[in-house]
């Protein structure tokens, strides 16, 4: 009988429409990939259980329902996040250029600063009022998806460019993935779970 401690972790997945957020989650949780594009509908999140050390982690992964096009995701989406996974498509420059916006948007929505005197404090909306967290240390991860396309010949964002961006944001971990070929999907989500767990 397992006596592992159970831990629930909330992960939100952000990035431009079409980069493969839903596909990555489907591949990770259901081991399925679909070429057909359908704007996400239905459940707010999917869950997957995975053992990490002495814990049984339930990863609750929140997907957008297509509202990312309008950037109106609402507070419930962000509330309680333990990790934020940003996704772009290595073949689409614009999806890389908008990462700054998604990063800022998350910090604005998920981690709110307030001031005492002129000292900024950062309150993690997620874990309640007692928990002060610095946005510079909030756990993000970046996924560069669709590396399978054209055998990598149509990519427009180099690995170096992506890693430089990650370094500029305080050393965000970076994974290159293919939801289609199930490349690096498990390692990326395992890393997400570990990062979120460390942030607990
Ligand atoms: P979302 O809007 O970010 O949720 O993107 P989707 O997951 O809906 O994917 C958009 C389109 O890209 C769909 O047609 C997917 O089949 C396709 N797609 C997603 N991931 C990959 C991938 O890794 N490789 C390839 N070749 N296509 C992908
Ligand atoms: Mg989607």
Instruction: Give me the pLDDT at residue 198, please.
Output: 85
The more confidently predicted of residues 127 and 199 is: 199
Whether residue 91 has its Cβ less than 6 Å from ligand 1? no
Sign of the Cα torsion 193, 161, 106, 13 reads: negative
Instruction: Give me the pLDDT at residue 128, please.
Output: 44
Whether residue 148 has its Cβ less than 6 Å from ligand 1? yes
pTM more than 0.80: yes
Q: How confident is the model over 120-177, as pLDDT tens digits?
A: 555 555 444 333 455 557 899 999 999 999 999 999 999 999 999 999 998 999 999 9
- Report how far residue 108's alpha carbon sits from residue 48's, in angstroms, rounded to the nearest whole number: 28
Which has the minimum average pLDDT: 25-29, 128-132, 190-194?
Answer: 128-132
Distance from the CA of 128 to the center of ligand 1, in angstroms? 35
Distance from the CA of 190 to the center of ligand 2, in angstroms? 21
Identify which ligand lies nearest to the alpha carbon of 188. 1
Whether residue 147 has its Cβ less than 6 Å from ligand 1? no
């Amino acid at each position: 009988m397992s006596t592992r401690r159970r831990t629930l972790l909330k992960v939100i997945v952000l990035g431009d429409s079409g980069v493969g957020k839903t596909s990555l989650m489907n591949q990770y949780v259901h081991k399925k990939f679909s070429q057909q594009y359908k704007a996400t509908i239905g459940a707010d999140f999917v869950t997957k259980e995975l053992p990490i050390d002495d814990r049984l982690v339930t990863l609750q992964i929140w997907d957008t329902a297509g509202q990312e096009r309008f950037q109106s995701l609402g507070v419930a989406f962000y509330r309680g996040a333990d990790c934020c996974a940003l996704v772009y498509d290595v073949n689409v420059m614009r999806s890389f250029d908008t990462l700054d916006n998604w990063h800022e948007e998350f910090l604005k929505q998920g981690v709110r600063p307030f001031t005492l005197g002129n000292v900024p404090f950062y309150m993690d909306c997620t874990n309640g009022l007692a928990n002060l967290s610095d946005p510079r240390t909030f756990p993000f991860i970046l996924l560069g998806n669709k590396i399978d396309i054209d055998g990598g010949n149509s990519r427009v964002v180099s690995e170096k460019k992506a890693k430089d961006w990650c370094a500029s944001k305080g050393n965000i971990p970076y994974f290159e993935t293919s939801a289609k070929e199930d490349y690096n999907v498990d390692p990326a989500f395992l890393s997400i779970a570990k990062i979120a767990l460390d942030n607990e």
